[in-house]
Copies of this chain bind each other. A is one copy, B any other.
Amino acid sequence: MAPILRERKRLPPQSGYGLRIGRGEVLRIIDVEGEQVSDVMAFAADDLDDCLSSGRSIDYNDTIRFTAGHVLYSARSRPMFSVVEDTAGRHDFLYTPCSPDTFRIIYGNTNDHPSCEENLRAAFRSMGMVPRGGLPTTFNAFMNVAMGEDGRVRVDPPTSRAGDHIDLRAEMDLLVGVTACSAEMSNNYAFKPIVIEVYRG
């Protein structure tokens, strides 16, 4: 039986969106035009102090390159998402979302600039939740971080092509924020939409 699509949403360039996803549902993130990053943060519906954790996920999967077959864990070491399909193959789980400070520190830009941090905060506020402190490291779908042997990291253009997607199955009830990323370098200096779809399990 084909999975049932219960929601489809197009995120305009440099925007964010918040949604609740039930255990067993699958969040599909589609890079509809190619070379567009999408930052993802999630909080446990039963414990809003528990959120997606890069460090726990790296530790339990023995990798910094996440793809189909990997499990993304929470800070309290609970499985949050299973990566069940991935046509892109390159994502990042090292960087925090771009923020006004990112644009000031990295780009020297102190003017108003959309950011994933602010868009994610607005997404969570839309669900009645205010994350404390700065957001932790997000799962950055399609973000292409190259790493040298010396540990130096560099943000390269995404390798994802139009239509590439990654499917994340929720392993618990979640509040999820997702963006069409706002940072120039991460998206090869062009901002595009992201489409998300949610399938019933």
Contacts and interface: CB of A to CB of B under 8 A. Distances in A.
Contacts of A153: 58, 62-64
Contacts of A74: 134
Contacts of A77: 99, 101-102, 105, 134
Contacts of A106: 59-60
Interface in A40-80: 47, 49-51, 53-56, 58-60, 62-65, 74-77
A134 B53 contact: yes
Given A75-B96, A150-B65, A152-B63, A53 B136 contact: yes
Contact of A58 (B56, B63, B94, B150): B94
A77 B136 CA distance: 11
B152 A62 contact: yes
- Copies of this polypeptide in the complex: 2
Contacts of A59: 95-96, 102, 106
A133 B49 contact: yes
9 contacts: A54-B55, A56-B101, A59-B96, A62-B153, A63-B153, A64-B147, A75-B133, A77-B102, A77-B105
Contact of A151 (B47, B55, B65, B105): B65
Given A105-B60, A133-B75, A55 B94 contact: yes
Contacts of A6: none
Contacts of A154: 62
A135 interface: yes
The 9 closest A-B pairs by CB, nearest first: A75-B134, A65-B151, A55-B96, A77-B101, A55-B137, A49-B133, A49-B132, A76-B134, A64-B151
Interface string A68-111: 00000011110000000000000000111001011001100000
- The winner among A53, A105, A137 for most chain B CB atoms within 10 A is A137
A63, A134, A150 interface centre (most CB from chain B within 10 Å): A134
